[in-house]
Amino acid sequence: MWPCRTMIPEQNPTNLSGALPYPRKIFGRTRGKRLRPAQQRRLEEVLPRYVIKGVSLSENPQRLLLDLSELPGPPEGPLWLEIGFGAGEHLVAMAQAYPEVRLLGVEPFINGVASALGRLEEAGATNVALFPGDVRDLFDVLPDACLAKVFLNYPDPWPKKRHHKRRFVTSEYLVPLARVCAPQAEFRLASDVPSYIEQARKTVPAAGFELVWDSFAPWLDWPGTRYEVKALREGRKPHYLTFRRCGAHALEPGAMAQISLGRVSQR
């Protein structure tokens, strides 16, 4: 397995100079086909019950840290995060399987959010909070070392080499992810794109994580997703990685460059 390398900044990188990186550009779609009336109703009536307050720039221009005690679920329960929850199959399954856990879900694609709200309503999950936007905005306002587990299931592949810099497994995302992960926090990644897996094997350890699981076999509590079904149907082989967060230390010289795409060879 890959060795543990600790290369994390002493401060939140969004606040080093007092200048915030806004406006941020979101690559990929945020809206698909026209919403059905039931989906529109969920966004208007159900989403406010689940949405995390104080994440967006309009609600929190000073980027003050969230008070996690206000999140739904057991007050002392561990906090998990799913990045890009899609239609919510995995998010809802985890919420039902682990009622003692508090779950955060982030998804910028509004059609997916509407579908996930339907699943949450049906399941009656009470330990889930959602942010329908960019995960980088959430990273800005999460306290240090607050997450015990993070899921990244079938992220946007960005298969063209010139677009690899848009992937989650680059420094823009991994450095703040490492800041908000507690020591020994688990980071799970599922993908059917070989170059994505290869890139993650290099960049995630450079951000302060240790690779502890690298397999074509999923996790024991893996509920599956529609993207996995599609990949198998089309003859692609899903791959599953688990990383553990190392202890946080100051950023070593040149570490940001090492994590950046320009220093990671691609196949």
The token pair at 190 is 């599922």
Mean pLDDT of 84-112: 94
> What band does 2 get if pLDDT is binned at 50, 70 and 90?
very low
Q: Pick the more confident residue, 73 or 33.
A: 73
Total structural domains within the chain: 1
Q: Pick the more confident residue, 182 or 259.
A: 182
Biggest CA-to-CA distance, the chain = 54
> Using CA atoms, how far apart are residues 154 and 129, in angstroms rounded to an integer?
21
- What's the pTM? 0.83
Give the tens place of pLDDT for each residue, 167-214.
989 989 999 999 999 999 999 999 999 999 999 999 999 999 999 999
Sign of the CA dihedral with 15 first, then 17, 19, and 20 last: negative
Sign of the CA dihedral with 143 first, then 149, 151, and 152 last: positive
> What band does 135 get if pLDDT is binned at 50, 70 and 90?
very high
Question: For position 253, what pLDDT does the model report?
Answer: 41
Has residue 267 got a pLDDT over 50? no
Mean pLDDT of 71-89: 94
In a domain, 93, yes or no: yes
Q: Which helix (H) or strand (E) holds 10?
A: none
In a domain, 104, yes or no: yes
The token pair at 44 is 């208007």
Mean pLDDT of 111-140: 93
Q: Measuring CA to CA, which residue among 178, 172, 120 is closest to residue 150? A: 178
Q: What CATH number does the domain containing 248 carry?
A: 3.40.50.150
In a domain, 177, yes or no: yes
Please tell me what DSSP assigns to residue 230: H
Burial of residue 168, with CB atoms counted within 10 A of its CB: 0-12 exposed, 13-18 middle, 19 or more buried: buried
Q: For residue 224, what are the domain limits?
A: 27-263
Mean pLDDT of 124-143: 95
In a domain, 253, yes or no: yes
In a domain, 46, yes or no: yes
Q: Among all residues, which ones are annotated catalytic?
A: 156
In a domain, 1, yes or no: no
Rounded to the nearest integer, the mean pLDDT of the chain is: 84
> What band does 24 get if pLDDT is binned at 50, 70 and 90?
low
Has residue 164 got a pLDDT over 90? no
Q: Pick the more confident residue, 63 or 22.
A: 63
In a domain, 209, yes or no: yes
In a domain, 127, yes or no: yes
